[in-house]
Amino acid sequence: AQSVTQLGSHVSVSEGALVLLRCNYSSSVPPYLFWYVQYPNQGLQLLLKYTTGATLVKGINGFEAEFKKSETSFHLTKPSAHMSDAAEYFCAVSVYGGSQGNLIFGKGTKLSVKP
């Protein structure tokens, strides 16, 4: 069965500092992996996804993530945090191979950015 573990429910960084949000997954099929961002009182917005091919994927707003099969990880990074990055971030894995719809989400990591 598929599952996702996000390490750290709350991460705080200073503006301009590196952002690192951790995600480990378990999947019985070749995984499709996703990072979504949720701003207060809004729905989820896709940041980036890994399906097949290049293991380093780039997303919107300067975020990127690397799929590491040996470590079963898909950590999200951004070199320099901006105040507008403050939000909750969710890692997700597809339930069925080849699908982007039926997803298992992690519990989320709330990112705070200090001026």
Partner 1 sequence: EAGVAQSPRYKIIEKRQSVAFWCNPISGHATLYWYQQILGQGPKLLIQFQNNGVVDDSQLPKDRFSAERLKGVDSTLKIQPAKLEDSAVYLCASSLDRGLSPLHFGNGTRLTVT
State the residues that interact with partner 1 by CB under 8 A. Answer: 4, 9, 34, 41-46, 49, 90, 92, 94-96, 98-103, 105-108
Nearer to partner 1, 62 or 105 (CB): 105
- CA atoms within 13 A of residue 31's CA, in its CB half-sphere: 26
In angstroms, rounded to a whole number, what is the distance separating the alpha carbons of residues 106 and 49? 15
Nearer to partner 1, 21 or 92 (CB): 92
Shortest distance in whole angstroms from residue 15 CB to partner 1? 26
- Select 39 or 80, whichever has its Cβ closest to partner 1: 39
At closest approach, how far in Å is the CB of 30 from partner 1? 14
Could you tell me the CA-to-CA distances from 61 to 6, 25, 82, 88 in Å, in that order? 21, 24, 10, 14
Q: Which residue, 67, 76, 115, 70, is CA-closest to 94?
A: 67
Q: How far is the CB of 55 from partner 1 (least distance, A)?
A: 19
